[in-house]
A and B are shown apart, each in its own frame.
Chain A
Amino acid sequence: MNDELAISKLIPIIAPFLVIQLILMVIAITLCIKAEATRGPKPMWILIIIFVNIVGPVAFLIAGRRNER
């Protein structure tokens, strides 16, 4: 975080997590937009999905929808 060396070292650490976060985010946002009823307002969920890493999409996928079909 203070020099470029650290950032180049940190990239291999976070790259796999970024990919997973991205896939989870896309799935969660798609399902959120498609969902008929969510627990709480949809824009709130979309913000949570985008800005909370990994846990945000998972929280939506587990608890976000009122009925799953």
Chain B
Amino acid sequence: MSKGGKKGGTSRYGALLGKEMLELARSMKLVWVPLVFVALGIMQPVSIYYMPLILEHGGNLPEGTVIEMPMPLPSEVMSGTLSQFGVIGILVLVLVYMGVVSGERSSGTASLILVKPVSIMAYLGSKLTAMLLLALLSLLCGYLAAWYYTDLLIGKFAFGEFLGSFLLYGLWLAFAMAATLLFSTILRSSAGAAACVLVLLALLSIAANLAPHFAGWLPGALNSYAAQAANSTIEYTDVFVWVIVCTVLLIAGAYALSCTLLRNSATID
């Protein structure tokens, strides 16, 4: 199925992207995925602020217990929010997109689209763009909500730190989305693809924490760089540049590899 030349690729890409965005709006993903991130983003500052009250009324503490809890710094709350996004947020995004290619192949939609003169690069490119847009929009909404509540309840958080940590974390989410696209192309089963992506992401971030000398240049390090950017303790070293370059290359590589794989395999199951 290597139909479709390079000619008119951009216009087809535009049409396909329009279809993807329409699909996002129609399935309400454009609304509910950002809302989940907003809930996660609110949860962190609110639960930290009200923790003494919650413990007082919810926990089975004996009468007269006095709980002294230092209020954490705004930057700690914001980096805590990012780690919330890293667990539940990425889980939701990966589960939403686990069948992005494999689902369309098994339902026959992919073969319907690819018999038209549409290049595989435009087809997968439109999907990847829609995935990145949804991921970044959700992250922006959630992180803005977290910023608002942190500002309201805990303290000021500077815009520079917000932007820096947002961009670094957005790159990590973009990597997660590219990996989802790749595994959804490799595997027929969407659940298997989701499991592979989640294991890969977990391994990368654990490796970057445990063995920074060996895995410090891999995308997994973006997690801790984003947290450092929130804490404004980030150092722009050579390794930092390597992490960025490596992640961008891996995203491009995942896209190219999925194009090759889809071209060389039958689109009809």
Contacts and interface: CB of A to CB of B under 8 A. Distances in A.
A27 B36 contact: no
Interface string A39-58: 00000000000000010011
B35 A62 contact: no
- Size band of the A side of the interface? 20 to 34
B57 A1 contact: yes
Interface residues of B, number: 23
Most buried by A among B31, B39, B42, B96: B39
A31 B37 CA distance: 20
B53 A9 contact: yes
Contact of B92 (A20, A30, A58): A58
B221 to A, nearest CB: 29
Given A13-B46, A20-B39, A6 B57 contact: yes
Interface in A14-53: 16-17, 20, 23-24, 27-28, 30-31
A13 B50 contact: yes
B32 interface: yes
Contacts of A9: 50, 53
A31 to B, nearest CB: 6
Nearest to A14: B46
Contacts of B39: 16-17, 20, 54
Interface of A: 1-2, 6, 9-10, 13, 16-17, 20, 23-24, 27-28, 30-31, 54, 57-58, 61-63, 67-69
Q: Which 5 residue pairs across A and B have the least CB separation, nearest first?
A: A62-B95, A20-B39, A27-B28, A16-B42, A13-B50
